[in-house]
Structure 1
Amino acid sequence: MLIGYMRVSKADGSQVLDLQNDALVAVGIAVEQLYADRASGERDDRPGLDSCLKALRQGDTLVVWKLDRLGRNLKHLVDVVQGLNGRGVGLKVLTGQGASIDTTTANGRLMFNFFAALAEFERELIVERTMAGLAAARARGRNGGRPYKMTAAKLRLSQAAMGKPETRIAELCAELGVTRQTLYRHVTPTGELRPDGEKLLGRKSKPPRSLSVQENAV
């Protein structure tokens, strides 16, 4: 069975599905087997695509007008098609740069494998650029990664508030804009600094107090 999927980027009526609809119907897809979304391709929530993928069964072929109607990006496209292949479902693209893709044929599968190789190459380039950027930043004395949300001013406010019995941790975290995990990583429930908190304020951790002879003897 042929099942079609269509998408336009805007939901305000300024774009219509007529061209895609006519092209899909022309290749023999029944109107009741057409699924559509009116949303940007970047969005994760596409109920039409979700319903379409659920409706596909082994031996079916998913047909799209152009390749960019289906995937958010190259990686997402490859993931979707590999999922279809694993279920015994084919993909056929009618026009555009991906018109040679028809995974029900040997040549079409070869072309899709080329796209999959490009996706892997793209991922490797991203990793390589990221690692090079981090190395360059470290060489200039900067550490990469996401900055802490906790600041010295927030830490002092949390110290003052944590020892008070009326303090509600959830409300304090919301007011400071930090998570509970971040808060407790810097300060104890009684308001004392933890090592991360001391580091943030530029203090050195106090060495553990050694027991006196009398205390050892107890």
Structure 2
Amino acid sequence: MGKIGYARVSSQNQKLDRQIELLEDVSKLFSDKMSGQSIERPELKAMLDYIREGDIVVVTELDCLGRNNQDLTEIMNEIQQKGATLEVLNLPSMSGIEDENLRRLINNLVLELYKYQAESERKRIRERQQQGIELAKEKGKFKGGQLKYQKNDLKLKHAFELYLNGSTEKEVEQVTGINRRTFKR
């Protein structure tokens, strides 16, 4: 039985230091620097493959594992199927309850409530953001993302000519300097 830590931040420029410090008592630590929007994260997969029966998976906050109820449920189910348990440091501890089944039941209920709260908060953030964008549009302050190239841009026309004459997207990128993803759009 071991304590296995998992830490995550949403982007490469964010720091894991705070989480790593809180997870200093774990025997093995896995960490990702990528969005929690998808469960396709290399270190999350490695951690789920690594855990064994009796292990305790420790995270600082529930949203480190995922952003929505469905993903969190899938991850938590996989942890339970392997015979491991989940400990979330910012949630109430159930260690004072001696009956293991009762402790697991209460822990699962608390986790379900927090999963619901996390997903609801994410929806509220998106709604407030959309409301702010609408207000800014009404006031003429929101322009949206600006296009990098206009339709009549000579560089873009050259890129299309190259592509239509048989050049690959990679070759077009090398010659014109226009990123392949930008060119596709």
With the length of structure 2 as denominator, give the TM-score of the two structures.
0.57
Classify 1:36/1:81 alpha carbon distance in 2 versus 1 (closer, same or farther; 3 Å).
Answer: farther
Structure 2 segments unaligned to the other structure (5+ residues):
8-15, 36-40, 96-100
With the length of structure 1 as denominator, give the TM-score of the two structures.
0.50
Classify 1:124/1:101 alpha carbon distance in 2 versus 1 (closer, same or farther; 3 Å).
Answer: farther
Structure 1 residues 77-116: Cα deviation after superposition (integer angstroms, max 9, x where no partner): 983454232674353328x422436896221111101211
Which one of 65, 77, 82 corresponds to residue 85 of structure 1? 77
User: Following TM superposition, by how much is the alpha carbon of 1:140 offset from its aligned partner in structure 2, in angstroms?
Assistant: 2.0
Aligned length in residues:
157
2:38: which partner in 1?
A: none
2:91: which partner in 1?
A: 98
2:154: which partner in 1?
A: 156
Give the whole-Å Cα distance in 2 for the aligned partners of 1:161 and 1:100: 60
1:29: which partner in 2?
A: none
Higher relative contact order (CA 8 A, sep 6+): 2
Give the whole-Å Cα distance in 1 for the aligned partners of 2:77 and 2:159: 57
- Please state whether the residue corresponding to 2:60 is helix, strand or coil: helix
Give the whole-Å Cα distance in 2 for the aligned partners of 1:19 and 1:156: 56
1:75: which partner in 2?
A: 67
Bigger Rg over Cα: 1
Structure 1 segments unaligned to the other structure (5+ residues):
22-33, 183-218
Give the whole-Å Cα distance in 2 for the aligned partners of 1:142 and 1:17: 42
User: Following TM superposition, by how much is the alpha carbon of 1:149 offset from its aligned partner in structure 2, in angstroms?
Assistant: 2.1
Give the whole-Å Cα distance in 2 for the aligned partners of 1:74 and 1:142: 34
Pairing 1:47-126 to 2, within 5 Å after superposition: 47=43, 49-56=44-51, 60=53, 62-65=55-58, 67-68=59-60, 72=64, 75=67, 79-85=71-77, 88-89=80-81, 91-93=85-87, 96-100=89-93, 105-126=104-125
Q: Percent sequence identity over matched residues?
A: 16
CA RMSD of aligned residues (A): 4.3
Q: Is the 8 A contact 1:3 1:61 kept in 2?
A: yes
